[in-house]
């Protein structure tokens, strides 16, 4: 699972990417925002997407293996 964030500086980009990751986790799994935040703190990697332009970017990567398998409907 990958969430992206962009901002005027790297701190803002990382903050936006983390917020996007938390929202994505909540929407995909039904977790609370607090539990999604906790999951990100132990399982997510933050990487720099873009530094050379005016807008900087970051992405948060969370391995699929930390989520339970999807149930068939």
CATH number at residue 57: 3.10.28.20
Range of the domain at 52: 2-64
- Does a structural domain hold residue 59? yes
Domain count, the chain: 1
Weakest mean pLDDT among 5-9, 60-64, 69-73 = 69-73
71 pLDDT above the threshold of 70: no
Between 71 and 34, the higher pLDDT residue = 34
Residue showing tokens 């969370």: 62
pTM: 0.85
Q: CA dihedral defined by 35, 67, 5, 49, rounded to 10 degrees?
A: 140
pLDDT tens, residue by residue, 51-69: 887 899 999 999 989 987 7
For 10-55, give the DSSP string: HHHHHHHHHHHHHHHHHHHH---HHHHHHHHHHH-EEEEEE-SSSS
Question: Would you say residue 15 lies in a domain?
Answer: yes
């Amino acid at each position: 699972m990958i969430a992206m964030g962009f901002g005027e500086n790297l701190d803002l980009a990382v903050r936006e990417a983390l917020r996007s990751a938390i929202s994505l986790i909540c929407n995909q799994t039904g977790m609370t925002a607090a539990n999604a935040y906790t999951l990100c703190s132990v399982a997510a990697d933050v990487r720099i997407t873009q530094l050379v332009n005016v807008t900087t970017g970051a992405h948060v990567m969370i391995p699929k293996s930390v989520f339970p398998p999807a149930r068939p409907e």
